[in-house]
Structure 1
Amino acid sequence: MALAALISAYHLAEEETEGLRATLPLAGRTLLEHQARLASFAGADHIVVVAERLPVALAAATERLRRAGLRVDVARDAADAADRIHPDERVLVIGDGCVAPVGLVERVAEARAPLVLTVADEPDNAVFERIDAVARWGGLMLINGAALRDTVAMLGDWDLESTLLRRTVQAGAERIDAGVQAGRRGGAAPLLVDGAAHLDGFDRDMLAGARSRGRDWPWRHIFPAIEGIVAPPLLRRGIDPVWFSVAAVTMVIVAGILFAAGWNLTAQIALLSSGPIAAVAERLAGARLSPLRWAPAFVKARMTAAAATLAVLTAGLAADHGWGVWLVSGIILLAMAALAAERRILKHLPGGQVPSWVASLDGLIWAMAPFALVGYWFIGLAVLAVYALCSFAIVQRELASRVGQRNAG
């Protein structure tokens, strides 16, 4: 059954000078944009924003969402919102100013309607609307389109959110305790934002929930420390992550130019910086719940530029060490090409897993660093050739094992 999202965007922030809750700044965008991306990430293919008025900031936010490919409608009242949602659709209701971890939103979206997310009735949760003596509404609920239409039909002058909540609770909706879910998933609790000050530190939670897709050892053990320093201020400024993907490729090209000029150590530093820059791009995109544009093309461009850079370095070293340098570099390239092919096959087999220490582009770059530091470039390339060949042998063995298990089964 299709999933729609209903997001309220009509309450003013605590300080009226801050405008609507929905337009409070978050990660260089608005709170509404993060809510809409949360809903889309949870599976909603249609988002209806209920806005009694449409200030410039709100109109700009919805237009940015549409340009990003999200299907967003703006309804000026409850009846208009109900008309835009089919009675048979499941509806994820997100309260005005409510933000929650991705996993919690997904948990609600995957459940059967009706369902209400709750938080404990404690002083720290006083901003949330009370349901009964022990629970308050956590800002998310799941209903169906027919229930929305029935509620709108009798709404009158009452508030849409509160009336939907009361009717859903009275209908015997299942309850999910946000505190219990956050404990199980190791995540944060939902947040009801009533002013910009309430969002202090939330960008760090967004980054903590976003993980780069790299699986090799530099992406797992080196780059996260760099991302933790660089990513937070960049996220707040709203810089498009695609520019960091461009920068990552550019640094590899710059390294090739520096190798050609004989500035080998500086070139190695440029190569080392390329990986963390690419990781920051993915981390920022993940925090904003938006796909990194042209990601596969950037990966291919970076690998192609790295191969060309290796050829430039090889040409420089061959002047002192002879044709053997070309042989070693050729082994590296062939082994990595074969390894990439084996990885693609293994990825489609059940249980196929490649160890994080297996050679990769960034693994080779960082493994070369100590040899570059002491000037043993040829020896470093020879070690990388052995590293690539051993990695290919390990993956080939794993692939043969998985194919054998599948055939036996």
Structure 2
Amino acid sequence: MSFAAILSASRTSADSSAGLRASLHFAGQTLVEYQARQAVRAGADRILIMVSVITPALSQAVDRLSADGIAVALIRDMVTMVRDAPRDVDVLLIADGAIIAQSHVDSLGKAEGDALLVTDDSRASAPFERIDAGQRWAGIARLSPALLFGTIDMIGDWDLALTLVRAAVQKGVRRITVPQDDLLEGRVALVESQEQADLVAQAVTSVGAAGGRTRGGIEHLLLAPLARVISPTIMRMQVPAMQVRIAAIALAAIALVPIELQWTLTGFALLLLALLLAETSDRLDELALRSPPMGWLAFVVPLMALVALLLVGGSTQATDLVLLLAIVTMADRWLLTGRAKPWMIVTPGSALLLLIVFGCVNMLAQGFRVAMIAVIGSVCAIILARRS
């Protein structure tokens, strides 16, 4: 069952009295954007952001979320909250500046009835709001419409999030306790400054380092692991994923120059590096909880690699190889390869690496033949795997 999410974006950061916690940079975006994408990934179908003042950073964050198809609205007063809050579904309440591991957000998204994520009182949990003598609120809660609107009716000028939490505690709702390890390792945190946000981002990105979409070929076996290693560093440098993708496209275009000058292996090596940058851009999108591009933008770099193969081959066999590789590339990108193992899928990166090996021993023509046999076998594996 779907639900809505209520986020807070009104508390100032420790860095500046004019800045908001919600506008701190986190995982390639503002912190409130990351919270919104977490809620959407957990099942939320609309996002309500409570604000005291609408800043340019918040407006831009809303524009970016809306551009990705996320229904989002800014709430400035209780009248607007009463009007826009859903009356037929639960809400997921996330505290201002809270960073919660996606697994906890997902568990609250699947919970039935009112529930609070809590942590035992300790030095590690000191930044969180105390709810009784032994526990503190860990920054996220799932609340029913009855509890939400029953509390809104009496709220006045009080803090909505904390008042809702206190009402939930008084009602005796179910509590889910966070392990202390999550607090100590930064998977559950309340950030007040950019320095804290950067430290927590390292913990979050390292947890998700082994995740991501499973595709095939050298892109999966070699380039994706390398991308997982370098992407957290690039993210901490606050380099957007789109800039990395543009750099990949530019490098692929530059690689065609040595190809034309018959510096074939140099051009192939540059194309492999461009494919690595494209994989890194995908990984940055995944870390930021965005969906990697699936349209034409995703195929620009592989297409340039195929153009290079066509220029170097200059034969009917090279043309056939490029056409088959184009088909396999689209199937691989759109996860249409069935149960075929990653090593069974021949991608542009696989072909480039194979041709580099053969080129090093002056057997490039034989390399094209082997690549053709390999891609035919890859197509057969995909067809047979889907049939099985």
TM-score by length of 1: 0.82
Instruction: State the partner residue of 1:311.
Output: 310
Instruction: State the partner residue of 1:332.
Output: 321
SS at match of 1:155: coil
The 5 Å alignment of 1:135-154 reads: 135-154=135-154
Q: Which residue, out of 190, 197, 200, partners 1:192?
A: 190
1:8 is aligned to 2:8: yes
1:88/1:216 Cα in 2 relative to 1: closer, same or farther (>3 Å)? same
SS at match of 1:45: strand
Distance (whole Å) between structure 2 residues aligned to residue 302 and residue 296 of structure 1: 12
Distance (whole Å) between structure 1 residues aligned to residue 46 and residue 335 of structure 2: 36
Q: Which residue, out of 350, 357, 362, partners 2:343?
A: 357
Distance (whole Å) between structure 1 residues aligned to residue 131 and residue 335 of structure 2: 51
Distance (whole Å) between structure 2 residues aligned to residue 340 and residue 175 of structure 1: 47
Given residue 363 of structure 2, which amino acid in structure 1 is its aligned partner? Answer: Y
1:199/1:260 Cα in 2 relative to 1: closer, same or farther (>3 Å)? same
Instruction: State the partner residue of 1:395.
Output: 382
SS at match of 1:11: coil
Given residue 386 of structure 1, which amino acid in structure 2 is its aligned partner? Answer: I
Given residue 77 of structure 2, which amino acid in structure 1 is its aligned partner? Answer: D
Pairs aligned (count):
384
Residue 145 of structure 1: how far off its partner (Å)? 2.7
1:379 is aligned to 2:366: yes
Distance (whole Å) between structure 2 residues aligned to residue 68 and residue 89 of structure 1: 23
SS at match of 1:128: coil
Instruction: State the partner residue of 1:74.
Output: 74
Q: Which one is further off, 163-172 or 231-240?
A: 231-240
Distance (whole Å) between structure 1 residues aligned to residue 253 and residue 198 of structure 2: 38
Tell me, which stretches of 5 or more residues in structure 1 are unaligned?
A: 316-325, 403-409
Residue 165 of structure 1: how far off its partner (Å)? 0.8
Given residue 86 of structure 2, which amino acid in structure 1 is its aligned partner? Answer: H
- Does structure 2 retain, via aligned residues, the 8 Å contact 1:248–1:277? yes
SS at match of 1:125: coil
Residue 340 of structure 1: how far off its partner (Å)? 6.5
1:217/1:140 Cα in 2 relative to 1: closer, same or farther (>3 Å)? same
Distance (whole Å) between structure 2 residues aligned to residue 75 and residue 167 of structure 1: 21
Given residue 353 of structure 1, which amino acid in structure 2 is its aligned partner? Answer: R
TM-score by length of 2: 0.86
- Does structure 2 retain, via aligned residues, the 8 Å contact 1:82–1:145? no
1:201/1:364 Cα in 2 relative to 1: closer, same or farther (>3 Å)? farther
Distance (whole Å) between structure 1 residues aligned to residue 199 and residue 219 of structure 2: 24
- Does structure 1 retain, via aligned residues, the 8 Å contact 2:116–2:137? yes
1:229/1:175 Cα in 2 relative to 1: closer, same or farther (>3 Å)? same
The alignment's C-alpha RMSD in Å is 3.1
Distance (whole Å) between structure 2 residues aligned to residue 34 and residue 361 of structure 1: 33
Residue 118 of structure 1: how far off its partner (Å)? 1.4
1:338/1:290 Cα in 2 relative to 1: closer, same or farther (>3 Å)? closer
Q: Which one is further off, 331-340 or 162-171?
A: 331-340
- Does structure 2 retain, via aligned residues, the 8 Å contact 1:3–1:44? yes
- Does structure 2 retain, via aligned residues, the 8 Å contact 1:342–1:395? no
SS at match of 2:313: helix
